Each structure stands twice: as structure tokens, then as C-alpha cells.
Structure 1
Amino acid sequence: MNYTLNSSPVEREHDEEVENIKAFTHGLCLYFPPFMIIIGSVCNILVVMVMRTVQFRYLSTSFYMCSNAAIDIFSLIVLLTVDWLHTNFPWTIFRGEHAHYMCKFFHFVGATSSDLGIILTAVMTLERGLAIMFPLKSSSWCTVKRARHVTIFLFCFTSVKNANYLFTSDIHTSHESDRLCYVYADTEALSYFWKSVWPWIHNTFLVLSFISIIFSNVIIIRHIRKSDKLRSKSVICHRVSSATTVPHKLMRRSQSRRRQIAIMLLIDSFTVIICTTPFSVYTTVDSNTTFLDGSEYQKAVKHLIASFSFYLLYVNRCANFYLYCLSGSRFRNALKQTLCFCNKEDSLAKKMQLYSSRFQESSEIDTYRHSTLKLDNSAYI
């Protein structure tokens, strides 16, 4: 570290702080992405494997989770790898005559995959809320076929939303910028669009998605609280009258399952909000403001904030596996079965046992619903 002889202690301390920020940012950009690429890809592959098991294959929520995991795998392996190479080894990136087509692809696919992951989470949470509110209709509403159609529609919607990147993206020259690609605004109309119109379009999309996520979670929590009150009433009536045939263990099992779903969706949903908001705020502020003096300290801080908020987007792509393991006992059990090497006879026996237990459990839950409805109606007579 070199200092001039005439520099004051305050200036030296300031220069040292700038160097520390640059060193921290460089370490973050050099070591953190490979860790996320390897760990995130392996974890998302495990999510896809679990969602393809018998326990989850025929659930619409599993299709959404599997789609999200596939998008995350592609983003980590392709998009984040290219960004890491550009940041640390810029000479490895092709910058020839037609390199701008590469940036059009990266900008478009990156923005579309990010938006698709957010809106799929919102739709999945809304679907689970409706399934809990209307359990008798959930079998016709929440199907894999409908989830497939919704996913295709959302992909087309997000593709149209981000189609502008296909016409206005270009590549930076070597060492020109911290980012590989940029969006050019060579006309007054394009400049106005990117600074004043596009931030509002993108932020409106995020706000509506976040409102849908929060609203769905509120519905789930309120319905669970009402169900808890109804169950407590049925327990009291069960103690007084012997006409009720619902076992107390079934009520506790159903209550635990619904709480588990609520916790999983709450953690997953708010993780999306927490990891997505900083980068959206940064891009909005950066597109409408400029640094006053362009000092080295401000440039170093800007680079740190940009890198940190950018990598938060990919942290969200790596975190779903751990969230599912943390909040879902069924996911953990299916993961254990996937990782364990069982013979075909044991696997077939487990499948038959699973089918029979599902049929028995659905019959018990139907009986429980009818009995609780009778109890609830008798309370108002």
C-alpha cells in the first residue's frame, strides 16, 4: 500500500478504508459465487429428485417447486458462472463483433428467470391458501395439469415484460465496468423509458407479487387460527358426548400438518421478499441518481452495495432446499428415501403402504370434517 509523503493521517486512514472495502468486495466476488454455484446446484437437483418421488409427484405445489428449482439450476450454472468469469477473469469472455447477442440473451434470460421465480412463489402461496380455505374443492382446483398451464402462461407473461432487453442490450469493453452487459439509451425516448418508465413497471410487478404473497399468508394464518378454535370446540364436545367418532390423534396430526405448510410458505415467501428487494431498490436509485464527486470511496461503496445486493438474488436461489428441510418433515423423509439405496421389493411395499395410508387418511379427514361441521352447526341451535 503506497501513500504520498505529504498525505495527512486522516487521508491515510481514508485511503486505507477504501482499500479495505475494495479488498472485501474482491474477496466476495472471487470466492462466494463458486460456493453458491456448487452448493446451490446440488441442493436444487436434490429438490427436483424429491419432487419427482411418489410422495410429491402428483401435487401441483410440487410442480411449482420443481419448476423453481430447474430455473435456479440454470441461473446458477449459466448466468452466475459467466458473471463470475467476467468479474475475476475478464479475458475469458468473448468480445467480438457479435458479442452483443450474448448480452441480449443474458439480460433477457436473467430478468425473466428472476421474475418467473418470484411470481411462481406468489402463485404457489396463493394456491396453498385457497387449498386450505376450500379443502373440498382443492382436488379440482390444484392439479398438476393446471399448474403446468399456469407456469407456461407466467413464462410468456414475464418474457413479454422483459422483451425490451432483446433490443437494447450491449456488452462493455474489457475493464470498462464492473458488469458485463449494459442497456444503452442512445435516444431521448430510450433514456426516458429506462430512467422513468421501466423502474415503475418492474417495481409495480414486484409490489403486486409481494402483496399477493403477504395476502395469501394472512389468509393461511387466519384460517389455521379459526381451525384451531373449531378443533378445541370439538375436543370439548368429544369429552362431553360419545357421539363423536373422531380420534384426538387425527386432530393433532391435521393441526400439525397445516402449521407445517404455513411455516414453510411463510419462510419461503419472506425469503424471496428479503433477497429480492435490495437489488430492486439499488437499481432504481442508481438509474435516477449519480454520485456527486465520483470519489474513490463512493465508487468502492457503490461496487460493494451492487455486488452484495446482486448476490442476494442468488442466495434466494440456493436457500429453498434448506427451507424445505427446515420446515417440512415430509420433505425430509422423502429426501432420506431418495438418498438411501433400497431394493425394489421394499420400494414397492413402501409405495403400497403409502397409497393405503393416503386412502385411509383421506377417509378419516372426511369423517372428521363432517363431524366437526355437525358440532359447529349444533352449537348454534
Structure 2
Amino acid sequence: MSNATTNDYSDTPCDNDYSLEMTRFIVQKILVPFITSIGFAGNLLCIIVLSHKSMVSSTNCYLTALATFDISYLIFSFTLSLKHYDVVNSLTVYTYWYPYGRTLTDICSNVSVCLTVTFSLERLIAVCYPMKGRVICTPQRARFITFLVVTFAIISTIPEFFEMKTVRIENNKTVVLKNAETDFAKTDAYKIIYYHYLVLTFTFLPFILLSTFNGILVRTVYSAMKIRKRMTNSYSSYKQNARRQTEQNRITIMLIGVVIVFLLCQSPNAALILYLTYIDSNDMRLTACEANNVKIAGNVVNLMDVKRSTYCHSPCPALDLALTMYQPTR
């Protein structure tokens, strides 16, 4: 989440000021536009492929929704990176847009997290309880659950719209627009209760659930592959079922890869949040150099989140999903 790395620290000159500026230049002006472009194309291709009538399935419903919010996340986060261009940052319209863009970015990120947990649970049910999975995991139910998950994430993030405001500051008869924290955002209830609710709900709890689900899926797929290998030369009817099971395992392995990338990209964010929480809970104040290190880490963490949205729906996985998950309309 972007608000995990945007704390205000001292602007005192420091030895690593140059390192911070170089990090911002490389991340915000080179890597973010490049990765965003690839991610936009990959997500768009994924949406086109998975929304085809021949691709109707519960898993595809979740993946289509995930790709939609990932592409939205990439667009909104890219607009935030424009803050580092003086020409754009000085525009009045951009100053007014920034607080909204920041919240919309967090909404898309939180929805993506929830959808990743949801389709991992759906795949767990389909793999571990195949008979029940055919009844439970239907496209209609997937659409309804997606609606509930998206609604929950949006409602949970709405208070962030009241976190910042645009104020006019007069300086030597010149009016300057600046974004500042609202009184609402400075209350203890918001800073402690709501912030920790966001961190727990959209960072640590999903991390634990995804790690657990993924561990069970890996073990189940591995066991199924061992059994199928032993029975390869059995009855022809079994071979037909084995082919179907192989296709399901390929889908599961594909989604396991998506979740692993998600966990790897989210781990630094979780570590940074733990560090900042420790600093805040102990009323510790960072030095200028330490604050710069946190900002450098924040740029890298946010870049990894953009990379996660890009990789999980890059063109190659999208095409592989098209070949792997093809099945007649139900």
C-alpha cells in the first residue's frame, strides 16, 4: 500500500541525498514507465483472452477481474510517479488529482490482494475436493463472490479519500497549492486503529493465507503427480481421467506460480511495514539519513508491487492460460 511508505520525515540535508535522487530517477522515470507499458499490454491481452465465451470458468472469472484491477493499478500508480516531473507536479489539476489518485491506487491494490486470496481458495477447493468443487466453483458463484470481494475492498479503503486535502498557501503574494494531511487523518483512531486494520487485512493476513493455501496446493499437486506416474499404464478409462487431471494440475501450477510471485513481491512491503510500525510504536525519530533510506526502500517496494501486477498477467502467461484452460462453454 502506498500509505505504508509515505510518512513525513525531516528534509535535513544528508550524505545519501544523491542516492535517494538517483533511486527516484531510476525507479520513477525509467523502470516504472517501462514496466507499466509491459504490464498494460499483458493485462489487456489477458482480459481479451479470458473474457472469450469459450473460456468461461470460475477460475477465469477471478483472473479476468484480477487483470482488470491490475491494469487499473498500473495506470493510477503511473500517474503518481509523474509527481517526480516538475512540469507535471506544478500543474494545478495534478495537485488536485494526486490525493484521489493515491486512494484509487490503494483501492486497486487492495482489490487485487483480495482476489488473489479468493482464487487461491477456489483452486484449493477444486484440487482438494474435486467433487464438491464442481458444484461450488461455478462461473455464476465466482462472479457473485468477486462482486462481494471488490465491494469489501473498496469500502475498506474509502476513508483514505479523507486523508489528504489541497490547500492554498500565500507566499510573497503568490498563491501555491499544496497537499496536506487533514485533521481526520491526524486523529489517533485513524493513525492507529484504521491503519493497523489496513495493514492486517491487506498485507499480513493475505500473506499468511496465501502461504498456507500455496503449501497445501503444492503438496496436493505433487502427490497427484506421483500417483498418476505409478498408474500411467493402467486402464484406458483412467488414462482419460488422467488427462483431465493433468490439465487441472497445469492450471493449478500456473496459479501457484502467480501466488509465489505475489508473495515474493509483497514480502519486502511487509518487512518495511513491520519496521515502520516498530518505529512508531516506540516513538523513535529517524535521522535524515535513516529517513532517506526508508524513502529509498519505499521506492523499491512500490516498484516490486508494480512488477507483481505486470508479471502475473504478462503476455506469455496469458497465452499459456489460453492453451491450458481452454474448455467448452458450460
TM-score range, shorter chain: 0.7 to 0.9
Distance in 2 (alpha carbons) for counterparts of 1:273 and 1:36:
19
Between the aligned residues of both structures, percent identity stands at 18
- How far the C-alpha of 1:68 sits from its partner, in A, is 1.2
Distance in 2 (alpha carbons) for counterparts of 1:191 and 1:168:
10
Distance in 2 (alpha carbons) for counterparts of 1:33 and 1:208:
28
CA contact (8 A) 1:107 1:169 kept: no
Q: Which residue of 1 aligns with 2:312?
A: 320
Q: What amino acid maps onto 1:72 in structure 2?
A: D
Q: What amino acid maps onto 2:124 in structure 1?
A: G
CA contact (8 A) 2:164 2:180 kept: yes
- How far the C-alpha of 1:318 sits from its partner, in A, is 0.7
CA contact (8 A) 1:45 1:73 kept: yes
- Larger CA Rg, structure 1 vs 2: 1
Q: Which residue of 2 aligns with 1:305?
A: 297
CA contact (8 A) 2:114 2:153 kept: no
Q: Which residue of 2 aligns with 1:118?
A: 113
Distance in 2 (alpha carbons) for counterparts of 1:265 and 1:140:
21
- How far the C-alpha of 1:61 sits from its partner, in A, is 1.0
- Give secondary structure in 1 for the equivalent of 2:130: coil
- How far the C-alpha of 1:39 sits from its partner, in A, is 1.3
In structure 2, the gaps of 5 or more residues are 1-13, 170-177
- How far the C-alpha of 1:45 sits from its partner, in A, is 0.6
Greater displacement, 121-130 / 158-167 = 158-167
- How far the C-alpha of 1:23 sits from its partner, in A, is 2.2
Are residue 53 (structure 1) and residue 52 (structure 2) matched? yes
Distance in 1 (alpha carbons) for counterparts of 2:308 and 2:33:
15
1:135 to 130, 133, 137: 130
**Deviation string, structure 1 residues 130-157 (Cα, Å, up to 9, x no partner):** 1122223333211222111111111221
Q: Report 1:145-156 matches (<5 A).
A: 145-156=140-151
Q: What amino acid maps onto 1:331 in structure 2?
A: A
Are residue 163 (structure 1) and residue 158 (structure 2) matched? yes
- How far the C-alpha of 1:262 sits from its partner, in A, is 3.0
Q: What amino acid maps onto 2:64 in structure 1?
A: C
Distance 1:154 1:90, change over 3 A: farther
CA contact (8 A) 1:85 1:93 kept: no
Distance 1:211 1:172, change over 3 A: farther
- How far the C-alpha of 1:108 sits from its partner, in A, is 2.9
Q: Report 1:1-381 matches (<5 A).
A: 15=15, 18-56=17-55, 58-77=56-75, 79-89=76-86, 91-92=88-89, 94-95=91-92, 102-171=97-166, 183-184=181-182, 186=183, 190-205=186-201, 206-228=203-225, 230-231=227-228, 234=231, 238=234, 244-246=235-237, 248=239, 250=240, 253-254=243-244, 256-283=246-273, 285-286=275-276, 288=280, 291-294=285-288, 297-322=289-314, 325=316, 329-332=320-323, 355=328
**Deviation string, structure 1 residues 170-225 (Cα, Å, up to 9, x no partner):** 24889xxxxx96644x37x9442344223321222122222322232233233334
- How far the C-alpha of 1:51 sits from its partner, in A, is 0.4
Distance 1:36 1:111, change over 3 A: same
- Give secondary structure in 2 for the equivalent of 1:138: helix
- Give secondary structure in 2 for the equivalent of 1:263: helix
Distance in 2 (alpha carbons) for counterparts of 1:220 and 1:333:
18
Q: What amino acid maps onto 2:154 in structure 1?
A: S
Q: What amino acid maps onto 1:141 in structure 2?
A: I
In structure 1, the gaps of 5 or more residues are 1-13, 175-179, 239-243, 335-350, 360-381
CA contact (8 A) 1:260 1:328 kept: no
Distance in 2 (alpha carbons) for counterparts of 1:228 and 1:76:
37
> Could you state the TM-score of these two structures normalised by the residue count of structure 2?
0.77
Q: What amino acid maps onto 2:243 in structure 1?
A: R
- Give secondary structure in 1 for the equivalent of 2:131: coil
Greater displacement, 220-229 / 256-265 = 220-229
Distance in 1 (alpha carbons) for counterparts of 2:230 and 2:261:
35
Distance 1:172 1:271, change over 3 A: farther
Distance 1:63 1:28, change over 3 A: same
